[in-house]
Amino acid sequence: MLRSPNSVPKTKFWLLIGITFFLHILLLYRFFQLQVLDYDLYKQRANSNRIRANSVPAPRGLILDRNGKIIVDNYPTYVLFGIGDEIVSKSQNFSVISKATGIDTSYLSINYKNNFRSRFLPTKLAKDLTISQLSRLEEYKNDLTGIIYKQYPERIFNPKIRASHVLGYLKELDQEFLSTKTNKTDYQFGDLIGWSGLERNYESILRGRKGVSYFQVDAFGREAGKIEGQKNILPSPGTDIKTTLDLELQELLEKELKDVKGAGIVSNPRTGGLLAYVSSPDYPPDLFTGLISTKDWETVITDIDKPLLDRVTNGLYPPGSIYKMIVAAELLERKLVSESWEVFCPGYYEFYDRTFKCWNENGHGDVNLEKAIVESCDVYFYQAIQKVDIDNLSERSKMFHHGKKTNIDLPSEMKGRVPTYNYMNKKYGKWGWSKGALLNISIGQGELLVTPLQVALYTNILATRGETFPLHLVNKKINKINKIHIRNSTWKLLEKAMRGVIISAKGTGRRADPKIKDLNIFGKTGTAENPHGEPHAWFIGYGLKNDKIISIVLMLENGGHGGEVAAPIARSIFKKYFENDYKIAIK
């Protein structure tokens, strides 16, 4: 019945219109809710969907020598990362990388496993990729998922010198370090930080500030262009530090100490600045820059010569005869002996039932204080020390900065040991030690322990009558060390004696003199007996020529006689420094 009438009541029409209206209003309200009421929420969500922030490492400040020559520089290195969450198949990706770069897949797997922190964070797979390896990788880009590389500035070292202990190295920061930082934005996992040496001490200056680069990614996490209106934050490079080191003196000192164990310090007594700083044996400074192989690491840490130990700041040695100037100062200052007071040295000294030997078994004959220093007569000091109170001597030693840290601008330093009455009692019991122990101390043996760096400060004090500055590697505004109250006559005698060590016919340090016109060398040798074998050889001294001055401290572990092995090294340094053609900027 095609023509059946369409007799529908209007109410039905209006009901359907009502339903239609309701449904449209519902949709409209929903759009309004999402787009207008919750706009901020979704806008932020859309941005976090697509915006990725990458931190851009700041180039680290350079480390320069006193003349502005570069000791530590940066060069760009490429590091390969894998993002666990985006890697579809690890084995497939690794084999593609291996095919492109020649890096072994097992190496990649091991690194992935070791460096893995979170599947959303880039995990380091390989370091130091070459440009050609990278371009090969680019060719295979479509076969790779979640593999990215970043450019990092890495440390490169002046090939002339090593100075590994002074410069220190960088290492990836650890949780412990991170927890000490209040400002976490500048430090993230995977960052390299100064872990030792100057790199550590001047971390905050060298580091600079990281930048941020924003880019957008598509739904598959692939980079999809820059973000308009979003400015990248450029990294601000770290500040260079100019050290007091002298590249050429450092080179020479390293050469001289190459095959021995020991320490050498050259400094300027008038400023406290260190010109050369060597602890031998050392390690190549770039040892820690690459992913260090287990084998290399084993070699370094199992070496019985302990190349990782910084002997300058952390090596503890008996000072031997170089300590005698302190005893002399104590004797004179307290007027315990006069300059002309003499002792007969037969080559030994009998103290109760013990015999103390002089190093010269033939004896020195009649010895006054000056001669006792020049010829390093032990018997003189055995006798003189009996007038000395151990606590007074300890005070005097501290005056010359024994037994306290020099507070050099390096992260770690030992303080040495100066025995006091209480110390001896504690160690041996009240009746367990006698004046005999003091006899050993008088010649810088026994309980006394110093670091070569302390000795450097001591030498500078002797060179300037106490008018010296704290030792440092980077110039900054510092005050002179505390005034040392010693009579000029005492200083004079010490200087005369130290001069005698070099020039007197029987002086022990004659070999330290390069015999340059107008150059006056002052010095003292030491031969410190120790339970580890041959005595440690010491030489301390300073050279004066017109207004130029440097001081040298040398310590050769188990090296033998200071005058024989250490003094000649000092001579070559003095020679280099004071020769006319060698110009050096003195600050």
By the criterion CB under 8 A, which residues form the site for other proteins? Answer: 1-8, 10, 12-13, 16-17, 20-21, 23-24, 26-28, 30-32, 34-36, 38-39, 41-43, 45-47, 49-50, 216-220, 224
Alpha helices in 400-466 (DSSP H): 421-428, 435-442, 452-464
- DSSP states along 557-578: TT---IIIIIHHHHHHHHHHHH
Q: How far is the CB of 87 from other proteins (least distance, A)?
A: 16
Residue 111, CA atoms < 13 Å, CB-side half-sphere: 22
Q: How far is the CB of 305 from other proteins (least distance, A)?
A: 57
Report the residue number, 10 or 483, with the smaller CB distance to other proteins: 10
Report the residue number, 47 or 151, with the smaller CB distance to other proteins: 47
CB count in 10 Å sphere of residue 33 = 11
Q: How far is the CB of 34 from other proteins (least distance, A)?
A: 4
Which two tokens mark 106?
Answer: 């097992």
Q: How far is the CB of 49 from other proteins (least distance, A)?
A: 6
Q: Which residue has the tokens 């969907």?
A: 49
Report the residue number, 42 or 189, with the smaller CB distance to other proteins: 42
Q: Which residue has the tokens 């076969």?
A: 143
Report the alpha-carbon distance of residue 22 to residue 318 in Å, rounded: 97
Residues whose CB is less than 8 angstroms from the CB of residue 389 and which lie 6 or more positions away in sequence, other chains included: none
Q: How far is the CB of 119 from other proteins (least distance, A)?
A: 13
Report the alpha-carbon distance of residue 526 to residue 566 in Å, rounded: 9
Report the residue number, 34 or 301, with the smaller CB distance to other proteins: 34
Report the alpha-carbon distance of residue 121 to residue 126 in Å, rounded: 15
Chain-centre distance for alpha carbon 169: 7
Write the secondary structure of 143-162 as one string of H (helix), E (strand) and C (coil).
Answer: HCCCEEEEEEEEEEECCCCC
Burial class (CB in 10 A: 0-12, 13-18, 19+), 37: exposed
Report the residue number, 4 or 479, with the smaller CB distance to other proteins: 4
Q: Which residue has the tokens 């490079």?
A: 237
Chain-centre distance for alpha carbon 340: 47
Report the residue number, 50 or 136, with the smaller CB distance to other proteins: 50
Q: How far is the CB of 44 from other proteins (least distance, A)?
A: 8
Are the CB atoms for 475 and 242 separated by under 8 Å? yes
Report the residue number, 17 or 301, with the smaller CB distance to other proteins: 17
Angle between helix axes 90-101 and 105-115 (nearest 10 degrees) is: 130
Report the residue number, 118 or 489, with the smaller CB distance to other proteins: 118
Q: How far is the CB of 133 from other proteins (least distance, A)?
A: 30
In this structure, the strands spanning 520-530 and 211-216 are unpaired
Q: How far is the CB of 231 from other proteins (least distance, A)?
A: 18
Q: How far is the CB of 91 from other proteins (least distance, A)?
A: 23
Report the alpha-carbon distance of residue 549 to residue 463 in Å, rounded: 9
Report the alpha-carbon distance of residue 312 to residue 265 in Å, rounded: 8
Report the residue number, 29 or 189, with the smaller CB distance to other proteins: 29
Residue 322, CA atoms < 13 Å, CB-side half-sphere: 41
Report the residue number, 48 or 580, with the smaller CB distance to other proteins: 48
Q: How far is the CB of 14 from other proteins (least distance, A)?
A: 9
Report the residue number, 19 or 586, with the smaller CB distance to other proteins: 19
Q: How far is the CB of 214 from other proteins (least distance, A)?
A: 13
